[in-house]
Amino acid sequence: MSLLQMEKISKTFGGVKALSEVHFSVNEGEIHALLGENGAGKSTLMNILTGVVQMDTGQIEFSGSHYPHPTIVQMEEAGIAIVHQELNVINDLTAFENIFLNKEIVGKFGLLNNKKMIQETKDLFLSLGVDINPMVMVEELKTSEKQLLEISRALYADAKLFILDEPTTALSGDEVEHLFGILRRLREKGKSFIFISHKMPEIFEIADRYTVLRNGEFISSGLIVDTTPQGIASDMVGKQYVDKNMYLQRKLGDDVIVMRNFCGHGFKDINLTVRKGEILAFTGLAGSGASELMQTMFGALPATAGHIAVHGQKIHGGITSFMSHGVAMLPSNRKENSVLPDLDILENLYIAEHTLSYKAQIIHKKAELERYDRLKYMLNIKAQDYTDSINSLSGGNQQKIFFGRWLNTEADVLLLDNPTQGVDVGAKIEIYRLILELATEGKTIIINTLEIPEIVKVSDRCVVFFEGKIQTILEHEDINEHDVMLHSTNAVILRGRIHDKYKDEQTN
Ligand SMILES: Nc1ncnc2c1ncn2[C@@H]1O[C@H](COP(=O)(O)OP(=O)(O)OP(=O)(O)O)[C@@H](O)[C@H]1O
Ligand SMILES: [Mg+2]
C-alpha cells in the first residue's frame, strides 16, 4: 500500500533548477533507494518532504493526508524521521541529551527527568546493539559513533517513514551489516525507509525498490530485482556506463615512508615500507586501527612507540612537521574536518595549496580559475559561481572540491582517508584516474577505504588491518572481495583453527 506520494515537485534556488516536476512514491514496509549523481536533487527532495525547504510547486500526500506547505514540526508529527546527510549531533551535549533534544522528558515542577532519559537511552542503545555510554560527551565519540547516535535518535522516534541520507559514510563494514539488520527488523514491522547511498553493493543488498533522479528530473523507478548496478548507473549518468578496469602497472622508486614498530592509539607494531609512486590501500573493519594509523602518519594523533621516517628522516611532532616533510592528508568526514563554511568555493579549493606553497609569494588568480574550471569539468562538479558559499553545493560536490584541494599541493605523500565518500559513480572513476596519474608522476599515495572495488581499481598493494595490527598485505593480483573480507574478519585464522581441531579429532 502506498504511504507517500510526491507529485510534480519543483524547486529553484536563485536561478538554479534543483528539481523539476519530480514524482516519487514509497510503499508501506519497503526500503526505497533514492539514487542519482551528485547534485541530482536527492537531498533537496528530502528536505522538502521534511519541511526544511519549501517547494515552489507540487503535491505531497503522506499516510492519507495532504501537505501543501509542510513544516518540520508537522512532518515529524505525521511520522517522518530523518537522518540528514551531514552530521547533526551537538558536540557539547551528552549522548542522551542529543537523543532527547527538543523532546526532553520533564517531571514534576518542570524539572528535567535526567534519570528517566538516561534509562530510556540505555534501553534504546541496548535494543539497537549500539555500544555508547548515554552519559558520554558527544565530542569524545568517534565519527562512526556519532553517526550511530544520529541514526538511533531517528529510530527512537516512533515514525512510519525513516529517511537515511547517506547514513553509512562513516560506518565500517560490520557496522553497516548491523544497521541493515535493524532496518530489516523494522521493515518486517511495516516501517518504511528512504535510503540514499552512492555505494552500489549496499543498495543491492538492502533496497526493495529504487528511483533515479538526474539533473533534478525523474528518470526511472522499479524493483531492485529487475535491474542491475550497470542499469542503475546508466540511468544516473544518462549514457552507457562502462565500469573500466583502469589499473596500470608502474615502475616504483625508492623507499619514501618507512615505519618500524610504529605504535599509537588503536594500532601497534606496524612495520611497513612504501615506495615512491606506489598506491597503497589500507582497509579493515571497525576497530582495525587503519584510520588511526593514517592520522598518526600525519601527526594528527600522537605516536606512542617506534618510529616513522619520510625520505629517510625520522619525524617527531605534529601536523606541521609532517607537512614540512611533504606529507598531506585529506581527512574523512567532510563536515567535521574539511568544510570551511565561511569561505567560498574557490577559497575552499585552494586553502591547502596556499598554506603549503609557502615559497610562492603571489597568488595567480587567472591560473587558479583555469585549474578550477578543469577540475569542474573533469569531476563534473555542479556549482554555479566560484564565489558562492561552499554550503550551497551538494554533499558529493563539496567532497570533489576537497579532493581537488590536495591535488596540486607540492606534497609528494598523499594520505587520503575515505576520498570518495559520497561521490557519485562517474566522478569516482575520474578520481581513480587522477590517483593513478599522480602516482605515475611520482607521488606516493595511501588511501584508507572500505570499498573493495576501489581498492581493486587503483592499489598496488592492500594492507588489511585487524584489531590494530597488519593482518596481511595482498599484492595487486591477489586483491579481491572474498580475500579482503576473509582477512578483515580474521576468518582465515578462525578457519585454520577449525581445521586444526578437525585434524586433532581425526588423530584421536
Ligand atoms: N541552499 C542551496 N542554495 C543554492 N543551491 C542549492 C542549495 N541546496 C541545494 N542546491 C543546489 O541544488 C542542486 C541539488 O542539490 P542536492 O543537495 O539536492 O543534491 P544531491 O542529489 O543530494 O547530491 P549529493 O549526492 O552530492 O548529496 C545542486 O545543484 C545544489 O548546488
Ligand atoms: Mg545530498
Specify the residue with its C-alpha closest to ligand 1, atom 28: 39
∠ CA 407-478-428, rounded to 5°:
30
Please tell me the distance from the alpha carbon of residue 235 to that of residue 118, in angstroms, as a whole number: 46
Of the candidates 56, 70, 67, 60, the one whose C-alpha atom is nearest the C-alpha of residue 11 is: 56
Amino acid in the structure at residue 371: R
Cell of 336: 567535521
Please tell me the distance from the alpha carbon of residue 381 to that of residue 371, in angstroms, as a whole number: 13
Cell of 222: 522499479
With the most atoms of ligand 1 within 8 angstroms of its CB, the residue from 20, 345, 392 to mutate is 392
What is each CA distance from 130 to 123, 124, 322, in whole angstroms? 10, 8, 36
Q: At what angle do helices 229-237 and 425-440 cross, to 10 degrees?
A: 90
Q: At what angle do helices 481-488 and 491-507 cross, to 10 degrees?
A: 80
The DSSP annotation for 162-177 comes to EEEESTTTT--HHHHH
What is each CA distance from 311 to 96, 250, 275, 330, 446, in whole angstroms? 47, 20, 10, 20, 16
Task: Kindly list the structural domains of the chain, giving each domain's residue range(s) and its CATH number in brackets, ordered by start.
Answer: 2-237 (3.40.50.300), 255-493 (3.40.50.300)
Of the candidates 250, 312, 311, 310, the one whose C-alpha atom is nearest the C-alpha of residue 277 is: 250
∠ CA 68-69-74, rounded to 5°:
110
Pocket lining: 426 vs ligand 1, CB cutoff 6 Å: no
Pocket lining: 173 vs ligand 1, CB cutoff 6 Å: no
| Cell 609557502 belongs to residue | 358
Ligand nearest to the CA of 44: 1
Ligand nearest to the CA of 38: 1
Residue 495, pLDDT score: 46
Query: Do the beta carbons of residue 79 and residue 28 sit within 8 Å?
Result: no
| Cell 538526474 belongs to residue | 214
Cell of 495: 578457519
Pocket lining: 39 vs ligand 1, CB cutoff 6 Å: yes
Specify the residue with its C-alpha closest to ligand 1, atom 6: 392
Q: Which residues pair with 267 in a beta bridge?
A: 264
Distance from the CA of 216 to the center of ligand 1, in angstroms?
Answer: 9
Specify the residue with its C-alpha closest to ligand 1, atom 24: 38
Q: What does the radius of gyration of the chain's CA atoms come to, in whole angstroms?
A: 24
Q: Is 248 helix (H, G, I), strand (E, B) or coil?
A: coil
Amino acid in the structure at residue 66: H
Please tell me the distance from the alpha carbon of residue 297 to that of residue 318, in angstroms, as a whole number: 9
Residue 372, pLDDT score: 87
Specify the residue with its C-alpha closest to ligand 1, atom 2: 392
Distance from the CA of 48 to the center of ligand 2, in angstroms?
Answer: 13
With the most atoms of ligand 1 within 8 angstroms of its CB, the residue from 394, 424, 428 to mutate is 394
Q: Which atom of ligand 1 is nearest to the CA of 398?
A: 26
Instruction: Give all strands of the β-sheet with 80-83 in edge-to-edge order.
Output: 80-83, 161-165, 192-196, 31-35, 209-214, 217-223
Q: Using CB atoms within 10 A of its CB, is residue 226 exposed (0-12), middle (13-18) or buried (19+)?
A: exposed
Task: Indicate the DSSP class of residue 349.
Answer: H
Query: Do the beta carbons of residue 18 and residue 216 sit within 8 Å?
Result: yes
Q: Is 187 helix (H, G, I), strand (E, B) or coil?
A: helix
Please tell me the distance from the alpha carbon of residue 7 to that of residue 504, in angstroms, as a whole number: 66
Specify the residue with its C-alpha closest to ligand 1, atom 27: 395
The DSSP annotation for 103-158 comes to S--B-GGG-B-HHHHHHHHHHHHHHHT----TTSBGGGS-HHHHHHHHHHHHHHS-
Pocket lining: 215 vs ligand 1, CB cutoff 6 Å: no
Amino acid in the structure at residue 458: V
Q: Which residues contact 189 (CB under 8 A, 6 or more apart)?
A: none
Residue 98, pLDDT score: 94
How many residues would you count in the chain? 508
Distance from the CA of 299 to the center of ligand 2, in angstroms?
Answer: 31
The DSSP annotation for 394-458 comes to -HHHHHHHHHHHHHTSS-SEEEEESTTTT--HHHHHHHHHHHHHHHHTT-EEEEE-S-HHHHHHH
Please tell me the distance from the alpha carbon of residue 303 to that of residue 458, in angstroms, as a whole number: 28
Residue 361, pLDDT score: 59
Q: How many C-beta atoms surround the C-beta of residue 116 within 10 A?
A: 14
pLDDT in tens, the chain (508 residues): 899 999 999 999 988 899 999 999 999 999 999 999 999 999 999 999 999 999 999 999 999 999 999 999 999 999 999 998 888 889 999 999 999 988 888 887 778 888 999 999 999 999 888 889 999 999 999 888 898 999 999 999 889 999 999 988 888 878 888 889 999 999 999 999 999 999 888 999 999 999 999 999 999 999 999 999 889 989 998 877 777 778 988 999 999 999 999 999 999 999 999 999 999 999 988 778 999 999 999 999 999 999 999 999 999 888 989 988 999 999 887 777 777 877 888 888 887 777 766 555 566 788 888 888 888 888 888 888 888 888 888 888 988 888 888 876 778 999 999 998 888 888 888 889 889 999 999 999 999 998 888 999 999 999 999 999 999 999 999 998 888 888 888 765 544 444 443 344 444 3
Q: Which residues pair with 160 in a beta bridge?
A: none
Please tell me the distance from the alpha carbon of residue 462 to that of residue 446, in angstroms, as a whole number: 10
The stretches of 220-318 forming alpha helices (DSSP H) are 229-237, 290-296
Residue 297, pLDDT score: 97
What is the phi-psi region of residue 423: left when phi exceeds 0, alpha when psi lies from -120 to 50, beta otherwise? beta
Pocket lining: 41 vs ligand 1, CB cutoff 6 Å: yes
Please tell me the distance from the alpha carbon of residue 80 to that of residue 85, in angstroms, as a whole number: 16
Distance from the CA of 392 to the center of ligand 1, in angstroms?
Answer: 7
